[in-house]
Chain A
């Protein structure tokens, strides 16, 4: 088209290439940073569906004094109420443990195994399992159980492989009934139950039964001695709060499970933030490069723009070649960035999958890049419209 040829005269390919390159670099950093964050995040997330992220499991540090004196590191009533008074605490639940002997046995592949074990329970309100699966009706012969994933891992990769026993999958464990033999300390009262594993938890380092079962069975088989809770589950308002860490430190407590990963995920957040900031700054700079190039180009072509308008060309059509230039160069930079990020993702995906990550959201990062591109396109197009209008009246 003649009009395109006219209006793109004086265009500097170097300047446009400079914009595409810088916009590409900025977008690639933003999109890659976000995508990597999405993919890595799942490694550190402790969501296991049974307890919410805002719950911390807290226990006292076990010292040699505890071992020597034979006194358990338990929480006293004052300590619990002190914890409950902290501003970041919503509610505190106690772990209760059994006051009797439990033996569990399981039949796998024709072989039987049996082991002593224990149960703990926490108030049901802290547990996120569909209501029908969790809970216990007194007198029933079936008990739902949540087992720490660590135990299964220990068994599968430590014990089973060295002892020549078959490895067990989670779904298999869910289907196999555990025979639970429960007996009081003196051995007078006893009963058999069938245990059903309803899930494996990453964050609860214990064997969990419903609170109802705990109360009912302790009453029946226990020696009715009252024990202090050795572990607490705490619902906190913001898990990242610094006050939590210092309180834990001060009182010689430990948070089970996620401490290390929460530090790592904090670092991940910070690093991602820095990378995104760098990417956004470069993108913003590229925006100004484009703005400047268009200003120079349209200023050089101002006379031509004015003449075309004098011929009666609609303003929109006079701006069109510049808008097309904006759209194409932005689309080019964006697609280039997507391609590079795709390659980058392929290069790390394999290793990340080995670590349990790599299943991040695939849309968020490209959408963020598209959003930035849209902002650049829209703002520059508006500027083009303004400059065409300015050329309408006065020619020099």
Chain B
């Protein structure tokens, strides 16, 4: 799927990989192995790779910017490692900023997710004043409140305890199953505790 001279052969680089809807994948790698690069390639924010990346036989290098924006709204959910939350906005505002784009997520469901992850009392706190773990939970909720065929989670639970990890995994699986979507998650150690996971090493 990807080729890069400076990176040695792996199950991804210099190989062919196919991700299908309904599948759950864990991309495992050492720190600096290129997980975040892989996510950015799949999300269109970076193009510094050799080789080919296809969505349904469509080479992504030919996808125009406006189409990428539509894909991001309706087909690919993405939780970047750096979370990309707005620290000056509250948890709820951050989530609504995304939810209002898709328009099909109701307030009750968001409230339910906040409660499930135990941050409902923090809903109106500015994200910048929360712990990383809390921020990760806000970002997870934000990532699932849109329609998607694939959800890409880059190290989503690095700062979560096992309890919250399980809750988050359950939530993501439930939402992905509801939409019939595939899950691609990465980890350097603390992985999202998904069931029936396929693993590839980077």
Which residues of A line the B interface, CB within 8 A? 2-3, 6, 9, 304, 307-315, 389, 392-395
Contact = CB atoms under 8 A, between A and B. Distances in A.
A315 B70 CA distance: 11
Contacts of A6: 86, 88-89
Greatest chain A CB density within 10 A among B43, B86, B98, B101 is at: B86
Nearest to B78: A310
Contacts of A315: 65-66, 69
A178 B110 CA distance: 97
Nearest to B44: A393
A310 B101 contact: no
Given A310-B84, A313-B101, A395 B45 contact: yes
Interface residues of B, number: 23
A311 B101 contact: yes
Interface in B176-190: none
B154 to A, nearest CB: 12
Interface of A is mostly: helix
Nearest to B82: A395
Given A3-B97, A310-B84, A315-B66, 18 more contacts: A2-B96, A2-B97, A304-B86, A308-B97, A309-B69, A310-B78, A311-B72, A312-B69, A312-B98, A312-B101, A312-B146, A314-B66, A315-B69, A389-B65, A392-B45, A392-B65, A393-B46, A395-B45
13 contacts: A3-B97, A6-B88, A304-B86, A310-B80, A311-B98, A311-B101, A312-B70, A312-B101, A315-B65, A315-B66, A315-B69, A392-B45, A395-B45
A394 B86 CA distance: 18
Contact of B69 (A2, A9, A314, A395): A314
Interface string B154-166: 0000000000000
Nearest to A3: B97
Contacts of B66: 314-315
A2 B45 CA distance: 24
B93 interface: yes
Given A2-B97, A393-B45, A313 B89 contact: no
B89 A2 contact: yes
A310 to B, nearest CB: 6
A312 B146 CA distance: 10
A13 to B, nearest CB: 18
Contacts of B43: 310
Nearest to B143: A311
